[in-house]
Amino acid sequence: MIKNILLILFTFVSISFSQGINYFSIDNLKKFGNFLFESGDFIRANQEYREFLTKQENDTIRIRYAETLFRIERYTEAADYFKSAFYNSSFEDEARLGYFKSLFFAGLYDDFKKDLAINEYISPVYKNNIMKLNTMTYYIEAKPLPDSTIILSYFEDDARIKMSEFYLRKDIPLRKNGTKAALLSALIPGSGKVYLGEYGDGITAFIATGLLTFLAVDNFNAKHKLRGAVFSGLAFLSYVGNIYGTALAAEKFNIGIKVNLDKEIRFYFKENNYFLPEIKY
């Protein structure tokens, strides 16, 4: 009886000795990786998962690995890994959304649209999110917008109102006409700047050009030919400089509108986390 007990104990002890605790075993790599993933340390989670995946296949780890790549902004690799989970995975739908969001963030809008046409790439669960991302590519790219009824149909309520406001502002920007402004300035110095809303600059330009012209005329009248010529030259430069400056100011104004709108749009997208859902893998 005692012999048997001893034998059992001996085996137990020897097993526990031979096993030890290996922090780098497959199981522990997974555990530690998951801990890092959940605490938001994606770059280190990525390392653990990569090590794990060289030894074992697991669809949760695979999709999480893709997510870590996405989080450390290695978007094209993330896209590849998400794509590798399109079939035979319990996260097929999530993988498809992940794939499109990776392409979106990588700025590969052409690939995005090409793959959007492939029907089986679209996940029915996240179709709405993918289509929203697609709409956002139009807003970010400097290309003409497609029909608003189609691209806005995926947004609801407030988002829809905001998106259509952006749509209008992008489609018909509140531009100022540079030629018109320059012509105005040619007619009356400084008036083009007033048209652009820069009143102080406009009036200053008018006074400067006027004063120089007056001085030129005055000096010619007083028979100071050299001074008259110098002031005429300055008046001419001031006149032409103002016209050119007005044209530039209009251009700057228009660029400013575009940049500000783009900034506003990007901020709005970011604020709403690009309308992406919270996913638990």
Partner 1 sequence: MKKVILLLIIMASSILSPAVLSQSELKIQKEYADNLFNSGQLFDAITEYKRLQFFDVEGQYGYYTNIQIGEAYKGGSRFDDAVTYFANAERTAPNDSLHFDAAINVIRVNILRRTNDNAHQLLDKLEKDIRFNDRMNEINYWRGWNFIFEDQWLVASQVFEKIDKNHPLALISKQTDKNKYSVNFAKVISYILPGFGQFYTGNYLSGLMSIGWVGLTGYWTVNSFVEKRVFDGLVIGNLLFLRFYRGNYQNAEEFAIEKNIEVSNKSLKNLQNNYQGIKP
Partner 2 sequence: MRSHFIILFLLVLLPTINSAQPELKKWQPVKINYELKANEEGSNYSTIGIFAKTLSGTKTLYKFFISDLDGDNCPFHPSCSEFYVESVSETGLFKGTFMFIDRFTRDLNFFKSREQYKVIKNNKFYDPVEYYISN
Which of 277, 198, 202, 210 is closest to 242 using CA atoms? Answer: 202
- Contacts with partner 1 by CB under 8 A: the residue count is 20
> Could you say whether residue 20 binds partner 1 (CB under 8 A)?
yes
> Could you say whether residue 208 binds partner 2 (CB under 8 A)?
yes
Sequence-ordered list of residues with C-beta below 8 angstroms from that of 2, at least 6 positions apart, any chain: none
Q: Quote the least distance from Cβ 128 to partner 2, whole Å.
A: 28
> Could you say whether residue 214 binds partner 1 (CB under 8 A)?
no
> Could you say whether residue 2 binds partner 1 (CB under 8 A)?
yes
Query: In the chain, how long is the greatest CA-to-CA distance?
Result: 137
**Which of partner 1, partner 2, none has residue 6 at its interface (CB below 5 to 8 Å by kind)?**
partner 1
DSSP characters for 16-44? HHHH---TTSHHHHHHHHHHHHHTT-HHH
Reading phi first (left if > 0) and then psi (alpha if -120 to 50, else beta), residue 170 is in alpha
Residues 25-84 that bind partner 2 (CB under 8 A): 40-44, 71-73
Torsion, CA 216, CA 219, CA 225, CA 227, rounded to 10:
-70
- Count how many residues are written for the chain: 281
Q: Quote the least distance from Cβ 124 to partner 2, whole Å.
A: 33
Q: How far apart are the first and last CA of the chain?
A: 52
> Could you say whether residue 47 binds partner 1 (CB under 8 A)?
yes
Q: CB-hemisphere CA count at 13 Å for 41?
A: 11
> Could you say whether residue 13 binds partner 1 (CB under 8 A)?
yes
Q: Quote the least distance from Cβ 12 to partner 1, whole Å.
A: 6
> Could you say whether residue 31 binds partner 1 (CB under 8 A)?
yes
> Could you say whether residue 261 binds partner 2 (CB under 8 A)?
no
Choose, by CB under 8 A, the member of 64, 101, 201, 219 that binds partner 2. Answer: 201
The single residue listed with the structure tokens 């400067």 is 208
Radius of gyration over every alpha carbon of the chain, rounded to an integer in angstroms: 34
Rounded to whole angstroms, how far apart are CA atoms 22 and 20?
Answer: 6
Tokens representing 164 are: 């259509």
Rounded to whole angstroms, how far apart are CA atoms 150 and 240?
Answer: 48
Q: Quote the least distance from Cβ 11 to partner 1, whole Å.
A: 10
- Binding region for partner 2 (CB under 8 A) out of 115-123, 127-135, 161-169, 192-200: 192-200
- List the x/- string, 231-260, binding to partner 2 by CB under 8 A: ------xx-xxx-xxx-xx-xx--x---x-
**Which of partner 2, partner 1, none has residue 259 at its interface (CB below 5 to 8 Å by kind)?**
partner 2
Torsion, CA 78, CA 84, CA 90, CA 95, rounded to 10:
40
Amino acid sitting at position 76: T
> Could you say whether residue 28 binds partner 1 (CB under 8 A)?
yes
Closest to partner 2 by CB, 61 or 194: 194
Q: Quote the least distance from Cβ 45 to partner 1, whole Å.
A: 10
Residues at the site binding partner 2, with contacts judged by CB under 8 A: 40-44, 71-73, 197-201, 203-205, 208, 237-238, 240-242, 244-246, 248-249, 251-252, 255, 259, 262-263
Residues at the site binding partner 1, with contacts judged by CB under 8 A: 2, 5-6, 9-10, 12-13, 16-17, 20-21, 23, 28, 31-32, 35-36, 41, 44, 47
